[in-house]
Structure 1
Amino acid sequence: MDDVEVVVAHNERATLRVGDVFLKIDADRRRTDVEVEAMAMAPIPTPEVLWRKPPVLALAALPGTALGRLGEPSTASPAAWAAAGAAVRKLHDAPLPPWPGRGVAELASALDVECARLVTNGFLPTDLVTRNRRVAEDALRPWTPVFTHGDLQVAHVFVDGDEVTGVVDWSEASRGDALYDLAVLTLGYEEHLGDVVAGYGTDVDLDVIRAWWSLRSLMAVRWLVEHGFDPSAPGCEVDVLRSRM
């Protein structure tokens, strides 16, 4: 009998692996609805849906390994990173999903609230938050919406050699800013930004990507701490914020 591996677990959702099957348990059915519909729409490889019985979604494991793990060096080749960029471009060129994402005003308001909490509750030093809030301002500009994954961290992109075999965890998919996906993919891996952009195949504003690094990290720190993760581990969100100083 296969062992049960806890991939991730907190009070919002959990993912278990049993052999070649992933069981995703989510109390919010809307997130699972988005995930299933987004995978059906996406023009890039995604896990096969084996069955669904709310609150559980069963998915087949993808071949290959994750592009990386935040805080750890990536062993993937530059060609694999470029292939990830090409896959993201294919997604962004696809028809928009029917549901919207967060707009600039909503993001700016949420960011201001989060920055205040980080300082008031002592999660981060004031100067670190203030500097990165200024950097993040460059991301808060009008954009043309595209089909975005919404949480395209390196652990969600699987590769085999130089080929992308699939992308997982689509519950945050929506209409959004293309550069946000590219920023999340390269967060903590600035050395691979050039490879991703080369694969993406079009000019992008690197300052906006860096602004998204600051925004994403500021928005994540408190949640990570409160859910038992360590954003201050080497190479993770706090180091990303410090690199902007």
Structure 2
Amino acid sequence: MTPEVTPATMAGMDEVKVVVAHHERATLRVGDVFLKVDADQARIDVEVEAMALAPIPTPAILWREPPVLALAGLPGTALGRLGEPSAASPAAWAAAGAAVRKLHDAPLPPWPGRSVEDIASELDRECGWLVANDVLPADLVTRNRHVAGAALRRWTPVFTHGDLQISHVFVDGDTVTGVLDWSEASRGDAMFDVASLTLGHEDRLDDLLAGYGADVDRDAIRGWWSLRSLLAVRWLVEHGFDPSAPGCEVDVLRARM
């Protein structure tokens, strides 16, 4: 049984580690407790409700004192990190795939996701910005905008995590112990989650699909790799991250050339 951890008991924990911090939110680690600080309470509301609805392991909520959400740490380690080879076994990737399939087969959450039209409009804006500001070569943007078109089709909505980065899935050996960061959860395209989890780790797609199932649209997955990367570059730059680091978003885009 996990002991109750309250704001008062946190006072005795003297080691604070910044896990991630940017202009919108921050996550801190204090001992074995993770503190998510987010001024957007609607986003935290989604995270709390999505974790309650998800049929797969999620972190235990210890307490909530807006704007802070305290979560218990998960056993094991992340499936991997963007920009680094994943040391996880094929069986661990398959287990992650099975967990994602279980989520996608679950009843839909009550709130909607984004429309194809909204995503296409944002993609056009971002591609224009990338070229106009000489952030990326025009031919690189044009090629990936074309590849991204395969993702912009009608899909049957499923319960999606919405930000299923490889570092958000924790495994212990070949077992999934939990999935983090549910603030973007919604009704969406199943292939978006599959693509997000394998972004920068295309060589592990077949391992993931061994657990998820083979009935996937690989063109759509490739489309989402390009689309997610194109949409991410400006946000990453403006929030102090480097999308051109080895193995990250710009390399994902270059791989399409």
Normalised by the length of structure 1, the TM-score is 0.99
TM-superposition CA deviations, 1:107-160 (whole Å, max 9, x none): 000100011011111211111001000000000000000000000010000000
**Residues 1:184 and 2:196 aligned together:** yes
Secondary structure at the residue paired with 2:94?
A: helix
Q: Offset at 1:19? A: 0.6
Match of 1:94 in 2: 106
Alignment of 1:17-56 (within 5 A): 17-56=29-68
2:160 to 131, 136, 148: 148
Match of 1:58 in 2: 70
The amino acid that maps onto 1:154 is: I
State the alpha-carbon separation in 2 of the partners of residues 35 and 139 from structure 1. Answer: 25
2:208 to 186, 196, 200: 196
Match of 2:185 in 1: 173
TM-superposition CA deviations, 1:51-97 (whole Å, max 9, x none): 00111000000000000010011110010001000000000000000
The amino acid that maps onto 2:86 is: S
Normalised by the length of structure 2, the TM-score is 0.94
**Residues 1:109 and 2:121 aligned together:** yes
State the alpha-carbon separation in 2 of the partners of residues 187 and 139 from structure 1. Answer: 14
**Residues 1:134 and 2:146 aligned together:** yes
**Residues 1:217 and 2:229 aligned together:** yes
- Report the CA distance shift for 1:188/1:96 in structure 2 as closer, same or farther (over 3 A): same
Match of 1:235 in 2: 247
The amino acid that maps onto 1:241 is: L
Residue segments in structure 1 that go unaligned for 5+ positions in a row: none
Q: Offset at 1:207? A: 1.2
Q: How much is the aligned-residue C-alpha RMSD, in angstroms?
A: 0.6
State the alpha-carbon separation in 1 of the partners of residues 250 and 214 from structure 2. Answer: 30
The amino acid that maps onto 1:109 is: S
**Residues 1:9 and 2:21 aligned together:** yes
The amino acid that maps onto 2:147 is: V
State the alpha-carbon separation in 1 of the partners of residues 179 and 224 from structure 2. Answer: 21
Secondary structure at the residue paired with 1:136?
A: helix
Percent of aligned pairs sharing the same letter: 80
Match of 1:80 in 2: 92
The amino acid that maps onto 1:80 is: A
Q: Offset at 1:202? A: 3.5
Rg larger in structure = 2
Tell me the matched-pair count. 245
Q: Offset at 1:203? A: 1.3
State the alpha-carbon separation in 1 of the partners of residues 73 and 215 from structure 2. Answer: 34
Q: Offset at 1:201? A: 1.8
Q: Offset at 1:172? A: 0.2
Instruction: Give the stretch that moved more between structures: 214-223 or 199-208.
Output: 199-208
Q: Offset at 1:2? A: 3.7
Q: Following superposition, which runs of at least 4 residues in structure 1 exceed 4 angstroms of deviation?
A: none
Residue segments in structure 2 that go unaligned for 5+ positions in a row: 1-12
State the alpha-carbon separation in 1 of the partners of residues 31 and 219 from structure 2. Answer: 42
